[in-house]
Amino acid sequence: MEDKDIIALRVAQEIKPEMLVNLGIGLPSLVANHLPKDVHVFFQAENGVVGLGPRPPEGMEDEDLTDAGGGFVTAMPGAASIDSAMSFGLIRGGHLDMTVLGGLQVDERGYLANWMVPGKMVPGMGGAMDLVAGAKHVIVAMVHTARGAHKIVERCTLPLTAVRRVSLIVTEMAVIEPTEQGLVLKERGPGVSIEDIVKATGAKLIIEGDVPEMQLN
Amino acid sequence: MKNAISPDEAAALIPDGSVCLIGGFMGVGSPHRLIDALVRRGAKNLTVVANDTAMPGKGIGKLISAGAVTRLIASHIGLNPETQKKMISGEIEVELVPQGTLVERIRAGGVGLGGVLTATGIGTLVEKGKQIVEVDGKPYLLEKPIKGDFALIGCKQSDYYGNLEYSLTAHNFNPIMALAGAVVIAEPQHIVPVGVISPDDVKTPGVLVTHILERAI
């Protein structure tokens, strides 16, 4: 299994029926493909739809119906189209159950940096700061290291997205829960040892007892 | 009853140096014919307030490419490399604002509020230079209202009174911006007789709309 599929599959297990969920662009958007068929949730696209559906058939796209990345989507039965004030009211008002976002760095405090690399990449924060500040659960879905460089670090060196402890970090190597005491290693990736994880992590991990392997079936 | 004006007549009403609130999200729901007319007129020195600048050759991206914009307030410019280049070279002064904060600042400007208090941005670069106000023990950033000389609105249809209806994810910033422009110019895809749009479907009452763009030929 590819790294990104391991991550998406494991994140999908966190989603419970009837949740309102916002998936970020890129890797997080893959989570929708791994949701069990019998689990009904509402996906929000912050550009203005609750009840986002999959890509329409070729040639059947509606130019007024896209996701936050600008890609064509559909709306599921029961969907609602909303303006940006309502959309961010849902996010900032604590009505969004879960957001899944990519990450550049997460640190021992559970703080996320994912919107800017000074001097290199300044795309703007879009909705990321609102999502991290406002969602009930924030899940960071990212590969464990960036070509060998640590992404889970003692203190973020990149500009923070919010000073809020994220709920869970899911990588292809590990599931990590940021707590008041620090980063708790909850699960190992398929075939990954604790030593592998410690080596690939630039922050102190709290390891208690046997750390089970992710159950991905 | 409003008079329909041509895109070129509308562009002639917008002087160089104006502050323009422009609806749309990655070009979806933007007033495309108005943007084309502003480019044709050779508009200069505009301050644009918009969620994003789409991409080169699309929507607000055309105004960026044409050198019509010297100041930009937006949440995301990541998909338009020209905007980023002009920001770095200093040709465009860019203020990046979290998306939810941006829409609420515009709403505040439109509904007569002195600003909004939000947790988004606390502890991040966004906090810089802003007042922090504590309410019931929780810190919030004071974000000031935004108003425009013009609001340029894309919509699905307008009736002869300027009552506007929007479509799916093409709502986005449009209904909010229609409150915050001193002059509001609406570009509907269709113009319909009064009564066709049910009162329940009117998202922008015609009393807010100054001009309607004539039908596309």
Residues of chain B positioned with their CB less than 8 A from the CB of A83: 166, 171-176, 203
Number of domains chain A contains: 1
pLDDT over 90 (residue A107): yes
Under an 8 A CB cutoff, do A124 and B74 touch?
Answer: yes
B171 touches chain A (CB under 8 A): yes
> Is position A102 within any domain?
yes
> Is position B66 within any domain?
yes
DSSP state at residue B158: E
HEC readout, A139-161: EEECCCEECCEECEECCCCCCCC
Residue A9 is predicted with a pLDDT of 97
pLDDT over 90 (residue A49): yes
> Is position A193 within any domain?
yes
Segment A150-163 shows an average pLDDT of: 98
B74 touches chain A (CB under 8 A): yes
Segment A51-65 shows an average pLDDT of: 95
A104 touches chain B (CB under 8 A): no
Residue B85's pLDDT band, with cuts at 50, 70 and 90, is very high
> Is position B186 within any domain?
yes
For residue range A3-44, list pLDDT tens digits in order: 999 999 999 999 999 999 999 988 999 999 999 888 999 999
Segment A154-181 shows an average pLDDT of: 98
A196 by DSSP, 3-state: which?
helix
| Secondary element (H or E) of residue B192 | strand B181-192
Instruction: Tell me the helices (H) and strands (E) count for chain A, helix number first.
Output: 4, 15
Under an 8 A CB cutoff, do A83 and B175 touch?
Answer: yes
Query: Minimal CA–CA distance to B49: which of B171, B143, B150?
Result: B150
Bridge-based pairing state of the strands A168-170 and A49-53: unpaired
Side-chain half-sphere exposure of B97, counting CA atoms within 13 A: 25
Residue A121 is predicted with a pLDDT of 84
pLDDT over 80 (residue B129): yes
| Nearest-by-Cβ selection for A81 from B98, B121, B171 | B171
> Is position B193 within any domain?
yes
| CATH number of the domain where residue A116 is located | 3.40.1080.10
Question: What is the number of residues in chain A?
Answer: 217
Residue A36 is predicted with a pLDDT of 87
Determine the distance in angstroms separating the CA of B196 from the nearest CA of chain A, rounded to an integer: 20
pLDDT over 80 (residue A61): yes
CB atoms within 10 A of CB A148: 6
> Is position B185 within any domain?
yes
Phi-psi region of B101 (alpha: psi -120 to 50; beta: other; left: phi over 0): alpha
Bridge-based pairing state of the strands B19-22 and B46-49: parallel
Average pLDDT of the residues of chain B: 97
Q: By residue range, what is the domain housing residue B87?
A: 4-114+145-213
Under an 8 A CB cutoff, do B166 and A129 touch?
Answer: no
Contacts of residue A202, defined as CB under 8 A and 6 or more positions apart, other chains included, come to: A150, A151, A152, A153, A154
Under an 8 A CB cutoff, do B121 and A91 touch?
Answer: no
A39 touches chain B (CB under 8 A): no
φ/ψ of A139, rounded to 5, equals -110, 125
Helix axes A84-92, B99-111, angle to 10 degrees: 120
Residue A60 is predicted with a pLDDT of 97
> Is position B70 within any domain?
yes
Q: By residue range, what is the domain housing residue A202?
A: 3-206
B163 by DSSP, 3-state: which?
coil
| Nearest-by-Cβ selection for A84 from B84, B126, B176 | B176
> Is position A212 within any domain?
no
> Is position B162 within any domain?
yes
* ipTM value for the complex: 0.96
Compare A136 and A120 and report the one with higher pLDDT: A136
| CATH number of the domain where residue B173 is located | 3.40.1080.10
A184 by DSSP, 3-state: which?
strand
A84 touches chain B (CB under 8 A): yes
> Is position A90 within any domain?
yes
> Is position B101 within any domain?
yes
Active-site residue flag, A46: yes
Residues of chain A positioned with their CB less than 8 A from the CB of B98: 125-130
> Is position A214 within any domain?
no
Residue B83's pLDDT band, with cuts at 50, 70 and 90, is very high
Segment A154-163 shows an average pLDDT of: 98
Under an 8 A CB cutoff, do B75 and A127 touch?
Answer: yes
Number of domains chain B contains: 1
Residue B217's pLDDT band, with cuts at 50, 70 and 90, is confident
Catalytic residue among A14, A46, A108, A172: A46
pLDDT over 80 (residue B21): yes
Kindly list the distances between the CA atom of residue A27 and the CA atoms of A24, B10, B83, in Å, as whole numbers in the listed order.
8, 43, 25
| Nearest-by-Cβ selection for B171 from A83, A92, A127 | A83
Amino acid at A106: V
> Is position B128 within any domain?
no
Q: What share of chain B is helix, strand, coil (3-state, %, to 5)?
A: 30, 30, 40
For residue range B138-163, list pLDDT tens digits in order: 999 999 999 999 999 999 999 999 99
Average pLDDT of the residues of chain A: 96
